[in-house]
Amino acid sequence: MNCRHCGHGNEPGARFCSSCGALLDGDDITAAVPAVTIDEGADAAAATLAELPDGAAVLVVRRGPNAGSVFAITIDTVGTGEVAAGRHPESEIFLDDITVSRRHAVVTTTSSRFILRDLGSLNGTYVNHERVEETDLRSGDEIQIGRFVLTFHTGAKGAT
């Protein structure tokens, strides 16, 4: 059975694509995970995101097992840094789900950019519904790692 999302050929009877994690009945995997609704403090959260300082960014988990989590990323003043995302407990962005590789992806920071790079993960890394190996992140980008959907927000300096 071929996945309607990425075209990968899967074994008969499989419910999820072994390449991208999408439901094989044609719906995207993220549609099966309920969206997070923030009733209290939504205005405060929006204000906080709007006031991110230059060189700072956050990844907000919108869908997935730990929806609502926020991971901070900063550009250090001494050069570059890397923030690991994966199922390994020592990952800075710890995404504990079998659809996520132990060392799934990394966000590299430079003096003015945030770069997302897939580390050869089994299910791939998607930015705005496109599978990527490496890409510059822009504020508002939607990142999918396994069943997790995260939104990237950045301050003015990193808003490439």
Q: What is the pLDDT of residue 133?
A: 97
| Residue 65: predicted pLDDT | 82
pTM exceeds 0.85: no
pLDDT in tens, 121-141: 999 999 999 999 999 999 899
pLDDT for residue 88? 94
- Full pLDDT tens readout for the chain, 160 residues: 666 655 667 777 777 666 666 666 643 333 332 333 333 334 444 545 666 677 788 888 989 888 888 888 876 544 457 889 999 999 989 999 999 999 999 999 887 789 999 999 999 999 999 999 999 999 899 999 999 999 998 875 544 4
DSSP labels, the chain? -B-TTT--B--TT-SB-TTT--BTTSS-HHHHSPPP---TTHHHHHHHHHTPPTTEEEEEEEESTTTT-EEEEE--TTS-EEEEEESSTT-SEE--STTS-TT-EEEEE-SS-EEEEE-S-SS-EEETTEEESEEE--TT-EEEETTEEEEEEE-GGG--
Q: What is the pLDDT of residue 28?
A: 36
pLDDT for the residue 3: 65
Q: Record the tokens describing residue 128, joined without a space.
A: 């705005």
**pLDDT for 151:** 93
Output the pLDDT for position 104.
97
